[in-house]
């Protein structure tokens, strides 16, 4: 891949897949702009990576509707060329739809849909102008299968990200921009600690767990070669194949059964 031709902006870089993506870009010599809510985490990561590449830290809370505009302005003010946008920031709201108040759901939708859409819109001209821009949207395997009990907004939000990516890839190919939806399954990170489902998720067999570093490499490799969709892990590729060819009623019954076993859905 072209080395150090422009910076990569990674949202949600303070933990999990976002941190792994930042580390992988740094390993490849790509300078970074890191953003997330937790400035202390970002600074620690910047210190870790800053010995090899240029790293800028721009804290932002994407649940704030004003954040995408402010973040885009701050990135522009840095005066660095932008080549890559990684829309990774995200989280899950545990439980069934009525368990949480609307303010909780509204903040979730702002981060997962609103901020992704607006930040991409604001930064897309710069990505097109550089001649070989890249957009890596971290979706989920949940976007590819019927939604589970307790995923009332999570799976639809990730499905939006997948379809959004497909359109971006088609619309911007003329400018040399590649857009990729990264759809990992269960990945070892802090995600399930935040949602309070770590104990339940530990019941899953080991073969269902992915390593964040492997997921990051798969996503970056895919966006560089122009692959619109990437599903890391042979097991998940097999599951996707099965879900596409089995009757919907069968898949939905399996989802209902598994939801009761591994998710907090009260």
How much of the chain is helix, strand and coil, in % rounded to 5? 55, 10, 35
Q: Single out the catalytic residue among 91, 97, 154, 236.
A: 154
- Is residue 154 flagged as an active site residue? yes
Count of beta carbons in the 10 Å neighbourhood of residue 246: 11
Do 7 and 30 touch, CB atoms closer than 8 A? yes
How far apart are the C-alpha atoms of 10 and 266, rounded to whole Å? 34
Closest to 60 (Cα-Cα) out of 88, 96, 94: 88
Closest to 106 (Cα-Cα) out of 45, 148, 52, 64: 64
Three-class DSSP category at 187: strand
- CA angle, 114 then 119 then 125, to 5°: 140
Point out the residues that are catalytic.
154
């Amino acid at each position: 891949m072209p080395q150090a031709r422009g910076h990569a902006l990674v949202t949600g870089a303070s933990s999990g897949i976002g941190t792994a993506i930042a580390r992988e870009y740094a390993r490849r010599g790509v300078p970074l702009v890191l953003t997330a809510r937790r400035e202390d985490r970002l600074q620690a990561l910047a210190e870790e990576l800053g010995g090899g590449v240029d790293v800028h830290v721009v804290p932002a809370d994407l649940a704030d509707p004003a954040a995408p505009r402010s973040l885009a302005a701050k990135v522009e003010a840095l005066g660095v060329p932008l080549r890559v946008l990684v829309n990774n920031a995200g989280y899950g709201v545990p439980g069934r739809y009525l368990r949480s108040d609307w303010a909780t759901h509204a903040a979730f939708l702002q981060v997962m849909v609103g901020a992704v859409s607006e930040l991409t819109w604001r930064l897309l001209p710069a990505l097109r102008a550089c001649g070989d821009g890249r957009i890596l949207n971290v979706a989920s395997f949940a976007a590819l299968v019927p939604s589970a009990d307790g995923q009332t907004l999570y799976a639809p939000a990730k499905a939006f990200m997948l379809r959004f990516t497909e359109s971006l890839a088609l619309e911007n190919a003329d400018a040399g921009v590649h857009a990729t939806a990264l759809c990992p399954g269960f990945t070892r990170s802090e995600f399930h600690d935040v949602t309070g489902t770590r104990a339940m998720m530990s019941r899953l067999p080991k073969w269902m767990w992915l390593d964040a570093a492997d997921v990051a490499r798969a996503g970056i490799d895919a966006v560089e070669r122009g692959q619109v969709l990437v599903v890391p892990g042979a097991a998940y590729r097999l599951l996707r194949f099965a879900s596409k060819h089995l009757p919907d009623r069968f898949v939905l019954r399996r989802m209902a059964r598994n939801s009761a076993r591994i998710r907090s859905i009260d």
